[in-house]
Amino acid sequence: MVSAELSALLDAAVDGIVMIDEQERITTFNRAAERLFGYSAESAIGQPVEMLMPEPYRSEHRGYVSRYVRTGEPHIIGIGRETLALRADGQTFPIALSVGEARGQDGDRRFVAIIRDLTAQRAAEQSARAIELRLSQVGRFNLMGEMAAGIAHEINQPLGAIATYAQAAKRILEREQPGQQTLIDICRKIDEQALRAGRVLENLRKFIRKQEIRVDPIDVNKAVADVLNLIEADARAEGIRVVLRLEAELPVVRANMVQLQQVVLNLTRNAVDAMRDSSGKEREIEVVTERTDKGGVRIRVVDHGPGVPRQLGDNIFHPFVTTKREGLGVGLAISRTIVQSYGGSLSYRDNPAGGAIFVVEVPPPEESS
């Protein structure tokens, strides 16, 4: 018999608690177990515990208790494990299961199972993986675009110089050696082809810069919170704490949800990289959201790393400029391009406590439309 105090304690538990005897029949079934499995305690007590297990676990478990009593060799007792359970309606769901042994005053053995439903946790993990996949896809497309824009900019300069030199040589030849028509024609062709290549690259850059980006009304707090698991996973591996400070009731702004998440993820991963080798400083990253004076939304990512070298200044946002030893130097350029595409801004300032502060500002809908 279960005492009134123990019964109250069992029913107050958040996790399902199921107790069985040596014959593997249910003797106790608390209220949380009723909610998890869809059986009432009255219908479950006295039934074999196999009713709560799908195949192949049901067949594997059959006779387990009797073997344990006979041999003393445990397989799951005292060892937590994740497995599947079976509801009354036939649906399976993931659980964390831990089993312990107890002896009653009469000497009989009892086995207590504590069961935690992992459905919500698994859904959150799947959602995080889906977000990470979407962000990686957006990141690859933006990376390709920004790299092409940077390459176009870099190649345009020598092409411009070629055209300038060719034009100068042509003028000199026309003035001083009018008989060298063949050489003049060659210079003209150099000039034409260089200008043609420059126009092609310029058209490519204009296309990349002016591509249409879909923007929708979004909740910035939700956008930031949805990538928190990805941020924390990177930071936790380096012993860095992430502090989230979200201002309540922020205005809705128009932006691209996935791209804005890509920006936040890029800034926070940069912060983790910056603090990876730092010592003697506070190992913490702050991600802050707040309302701007103009009715938009501001996101601040604050770290305690070495900061940005003064000689780089605002060049840190230019393509192929990086402070990382193995960095490509396009992440911040991509991020600024994304934010600017819907009327926002991305800026940097020194952290007075040491480190860097990157600030994303998204304007109110009337300004970004």
Q: What is the CB neighbour count within 10 angstroms for residue 73?
A: 8
User: Of 175-179, 244-248, 263-267, which one has max mean pLDDT?
Assistant: 244-248
Both tokens of residue 174? Answer: 């026309």
Residue 187 vs residue 47, higher pLDDT = 47
Q: What integer is the mean pLDDT of 87-93?
A: 93
Task: Please tell me what DSSP assigns to residue 325.
Answer: T
Q: What is the pLDDT of residues 51-68, one digit of tens each?
A: 999 988 787 776 666 666
What CATH class does 216-368 carry?
A: alpha beta
CA distance linking residue 197 with residue 212, whole number of Å? 25
Q: What is the pLDDT of residue 244?
A: 92
Per the document, the length of the chain is: 369
Query: pLDDT at residue 181 above 60?
Result: yes
| Domain span(s) for CATH 3.30.450.20 in the chain | 4-117
Q: What is the CB neighbour count within 10 angstroms for residue 130?
A: 10
Q: What is the pLDDT of residue 328?
A: 42
| Domain span(s) for CATH 1.10.287.130 in the chain | 122-209
Q: What is the pLDDT of residue 38?
A: 94
Q: What integer is the mean pLDDT of 315-319?
A: 64
Q: What integer is the mean pLDDT of 272-284?
A: 76
In the predicted model, what is the mean pLDDT of the chain?
Answer: 78
pLDDT bucket at 261, cuts 50 / 70 / 90: confident
Residue 322 vs residue 5, higher pLDDT = 5
Q: What is the pLDDT of residue 126?
A: 78
Residue 220 vs residue 56, higher pLDDT = 220
Residue 307 vs residue 32, higher pLDDT = 32
In terms of CATH architecture, what is 4-117?
A: 2-Layer Sandwich (3.30)
Query: pLDDT at residue 326 above 50?
Result: no
pLDDT bucket at 327, cuts 50 / 70 / 90: very low
| Domain span(s) for CATH 3.30.565.10 in the chain | 216-368
Instruction: Give kind and range of the element (H or E) at residue 301.
Output: strand 297-302
CA distance linking residue 369 with residue 356, whole number of Å? 31
Full DSSP string of 228-293? HHHHHHHHHHTT-EEEEEE-SSPPPEEE-HHHHHHHHHHHHHHHHHHHTT--SS--EEEEEEEE-T
Q: What is the pLDDT of residue 12?
A: 83
pLDDT bucket at 102, cuts 50 / 70 / 90: confident
Query: pLDDT at residue 78 above 70?
Result: no
Q: State what percent of residues in the chain have pLDDT above 90.
A: 24
Q: What integer is the mean pLDDT of 59-79?
A: 65
Contact 210, 217 (CB under 8 A): no
Instruction: Give kind and range of the element (H or E) at residue 114.
Output: strand 109-117
pLDDT bucket at 159, cuts 50 / 70 / 90: confident
In terms of CATH architecture, what is 122-209?
A: Orthogonal Bundle (1.10)
Query: pLDDT at residue 273 above 50?
Result: yes
